[in-house]
């Protein structure tokens, strides 16, 4: 990978508004096509060679926007074919074994616990973004018979997923509890620093950082963090991967605003689609779940910091500076007008200087790091969830600015995994599926 500064120097900055839509579209389709592995698509070649849970949501939308509706639905069907019998959906499905990723199936050791005869998987989950993607595909698919058939086929799996979350992951404030930082999707967010420090470090002698073969180490989590990540995996494995009891079993248990927001929106989206499919009986239960998760988010509002913050269940304390997780309350439509205005004022202040929107950590926080993964860089998925959360509200202008700013990032440096908020240069993995997929679905739609 070229050094970031070289890349910026070598390539003229393209104003997103002037970039050629057709070229951007062709490039995004090429990324998805290169990352497709038959029935599902990997997040990035080399770095992430399997099917990831929450990535599957945006990836399916990208295929739909590319016009391949069969592949779009296939992504969701494929993920849910690996659902465990109690409704739990694993965060990685190991469809084809690869040497490029650690920790692989041997470390997780879940064989025999998942879908009968199914592939090996991890034993932790990720936010249920594919549920909202299913509802969005259903609304947009021009072939109405296919849309009804596909959503109907997925329906019991989607309902089982959100009801499992409601049953097994309820925290003291009514928000969703993540039992591993990887579950939040924002692996090394500074919000997890304190709770992670209290977890055991792995004694695994073969801790292999295969990620740093592809991406510079200073753009990734640290090895100490990895030792703790694996220490939590070991504790959950020793507890037998009982996915009904992980809140009690895990040394890490944190109510996460971002996860809760995605769950709340998922349940609300399903409730809205229920009557179209004749599943009215499910609608009330789903609406109740969505409302209880929105209430959970409100209970995590920190008045002094004017931000939604995560809550460490073990230490019984709120944790972290202002991070992207708290901002996702907007995606759930949870924040009332006054709270939304406070969040928006903060983002505008962050990006009114030279910073690109939306940094994943408060740039004024001591923990901010502009290039290290979830500790500052801009991510296309976060921008999409924030902008969509604001669309049609009093803050429509900011939604439009975030969208055009994101377009400028991908138009200049391509479909990188994340971007440095100081100058917008692309970092992390290249040819990243959700950056390409959301370009198709969101930025070019």
Our CB check for ligand GLC shows the closer of 55 and 255 to be: 55
Q: How far is the CB of 319 from ligand GLC (least distance, A)?
A: 18
Asked if 54 interacts with ligand GLC (CB under 6 A), we say yes
Q: Which two tokens stand for residue 80?
A: 């849910």
**Residue 185 within binding range of ligand GLC, rule CB under 6 A:** yes
Q: What's the maximum distance between 2 C-alpha atoms anywhere in the chain?
A: 59
- With residue 147 as reference, give the H or E element that holds it: helix 144-168
Query: Is the Cβ–Cβ distance between 310 and 257 less than 8 Å?
Result: yes
Contact 263, 329 (CB under 8 A): no
Decide if residue 219 touches ligand GLC (CB under 6 A).
no
Residue 376 binding ligand GLC, by CB under 6 A? no
Q: Which stretch binds ligand GLC (CB under 6 A): 46-54, 190-198, 230-238, 318-326?
A: 46-54
Nearer to ligand GLC, 71 or 433 (CB): 433
Minimum distance of ligand GLC from residue 71's CB (angstroms)? 18
193 prior amide bond cis, ω within 30: no
Nearest residue (CB) to ligand GLC, 55 versus 219: 55
CB of 43 to ligand GLC, least distance (A): 3
**Degrees, nearest 5: CA angle 414-415-416:** 100
Phi, psi at 318, each rounded to 5°: -75, 150
Q: Does 48 contact ligand GLC by CB under 6 A? A: yes
User: Given candidates 16, 32, 49, 55, which one binds ligand GLC under the rule CB under 6 A?
Assistant: 55
Beta strands per DSSP E along 301-442: 301-302, 307-308, 310-312, 317-319, 418-419, 426-427
Can you tell me whether residue 8 is helix, strand or coil?
helix
Closest distance between ligand GLC and the C-beta of residue 47, in Å? 8
Distance CA 370, CA 376 (A): 5
Catalytic (active site) residue 298: no
- Residue tagged active-site, from 141, 219, 255, 417: 417
Shorter beta-carbon distance to ligand GLC: residue 138 or 379: 379
Beta-bridge partners for 418: 427
Q: Which is nearer to ligand GLC, 71 or 360 (CB)?
A: 360
Taking contact as CB under 6 A, which single stretch among the options 51-59, 170-178, 311-319, 336-344 is the one that binds ligand GLC? 51-59
| Least distance CB 220 / ligand GLC (angstroms) | 10
Shortest gap between Cβ of 124 and ligand GLC (angstroms)?
Answer: 12
In whole angstroms, the minimum distance from the beta carbon of 87 to ligand GLC comes to 20
| DSSP category for residue 254 | E
Catalytically annotated residue among 55, 75, 187, 282 = 187
Asked if 187 touches ligand GLC (CB under 6 A), the answer is yes
CA pair distance 203, 23, nearest whole angstrom: 49
Alpha carbon distance 236, 224 (integer Å): 19
- Give the nearest distance from C-beta 182 to ligand GLC in angstroms: 6
Residue 209, C-beta contacts closer than 8 angstroms, at least 6 positions apart: 102, 217, 220, 223, 226
252 sits near ligand GLC (criterion: CB under 6 A): no
Cβ-based nearer residue to ligand GLC, 187 or 256? 187
Stretch touching ligand GLC by CB under 6 A, among 6-14, 50-58, 170-178, 406-414: 50-58
Binding region for ligand GLC (CB under 6 A) out of 48-56, 106-114, 229-237, 318-326 = 48-56
CB closer to ligand GLC out of 16 and 119: 119
Neighbours of 99 (CB within 10 A): 9
Closer residue to ligand GLC (CB): 187 or 282: 187
Element (H, E) at 52: strand 51-52
- Does residue 150 have an active-site annotation? no
Q: Are strands 92-93 and 177-178 parallel, antiparallel or unpaired?
A: unpaired
* 3-class secondary-structure state, position 255: strand
Binding-site member from 4, 52, 159, 261 for ligand GLC (CB under 6 A): 52
Contact region for ligand GLC (CB under 6 A) — 2-10, 47-55, 72-80, 160-168? Answer: 47-55
Residue 422 near residue 355, CB atoms below 8 Å: yes
Among positions 65-124, residues that touch ligand GLC (CB under 6 A) are: none
Cα gap 72→34, rounded to integer Å? 15
Task: Tell me the DSSP string of 82-105.
Answer: T--TTS---SEE-SS--TT-SS-H
Cβ atoms of 211 and 188 within 8 Å: the answer is no
Sites of contact with ligand GLC (CB under 6 A): 43, 48, 52, 54-55, 185, 187
| Enzyme catalytic residues | 187, 417
């Amino acid at each position: 990978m070229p050094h970031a500064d070289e890349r910026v120097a070598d390539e003229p900055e393209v104003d997103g508004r002037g970039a050629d839509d057709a070229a951007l579209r062709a490039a995004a389709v090429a990324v998805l096509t290169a990352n497709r592995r038959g029935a599902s698509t990997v997040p990035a070649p080399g770095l992430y060679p399997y099917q990831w849970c929450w990535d599957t949501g945006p990836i399916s939308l990208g295929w739909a926007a590319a016009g391949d509706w069969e592949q779009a639905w296939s992504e969701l069907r494929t993920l849910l074919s690996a659902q465990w019998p109690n409704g739990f959906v694993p965060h990685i499905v190991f469809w084809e074994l690869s040497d490029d990723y650690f920790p692989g199936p041997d470390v997780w050791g879940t064989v025999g616990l998942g879908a009968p005869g199914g592939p090996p998987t991890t034993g932790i989950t990720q936010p249920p973004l594919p549920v909202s993607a299913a509802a969005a595909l259903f609304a947009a698919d021009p072939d109405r018979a296919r849309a009804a058939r596909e959503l109907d086929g997925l329906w019991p799996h989607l309902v089982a997923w959100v009801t499992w979350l409601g049953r097994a992951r309820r925290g003291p404030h009514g928000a969703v509890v993540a039992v591993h930082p990887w579950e939040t999707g924002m692996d090394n967010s500074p919000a997890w620093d304190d709770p992670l420090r209290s977890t055991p470090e792995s004694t695994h002698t073969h801790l292999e950082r295969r990620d740093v073969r592809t991406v510079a180490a200073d753009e990734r989590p640290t090895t100490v963090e990895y030792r703790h990540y694996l220490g939590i995996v070991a504790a959950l494995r020793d507890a037998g991967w009982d996915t009904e009891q992980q809140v009690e079993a895990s040394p890490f248990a944190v109510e996460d605003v971002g996860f809760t927001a995605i769950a709340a929106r998922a349940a609300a989206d399903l409730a809205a689609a229920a009557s179209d499919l004749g599943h009215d009986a499910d609608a009330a239960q789903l609406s109740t779940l969505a409302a209880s998760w929105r209430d959970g988010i409100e209970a995590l509002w920190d008045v002094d910091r004017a931000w939604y913050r995560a809550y460490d269940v073990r230490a019984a304390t709120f944790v972290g500076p202002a991070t992207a997780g708290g901002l996702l309350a907007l995606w759930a439509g949870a924040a009332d007008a006054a709270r939304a205005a406070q969040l928006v004022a903060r983002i505008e202040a962050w990006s009114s200087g030279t910073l690109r929107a939306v940094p994943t950590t408060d740039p004024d926080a001591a923990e901010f790091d502009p290039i290290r993964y979830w500790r500052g860089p801009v991510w296309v998925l976060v921008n999409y969830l924030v902008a969509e959360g604001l669309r049609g509200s009093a803050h429509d202008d900011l939604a439009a600015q975030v969208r055009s700013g994101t377009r400028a990032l991908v138009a200049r440096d391509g479909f990188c995994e994340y971007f440095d908020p100081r100058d917008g240069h692309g970092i992390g993995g290249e040819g990243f599926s959700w950056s390409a997929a959301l370009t198709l679905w969101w930025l070019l739609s």
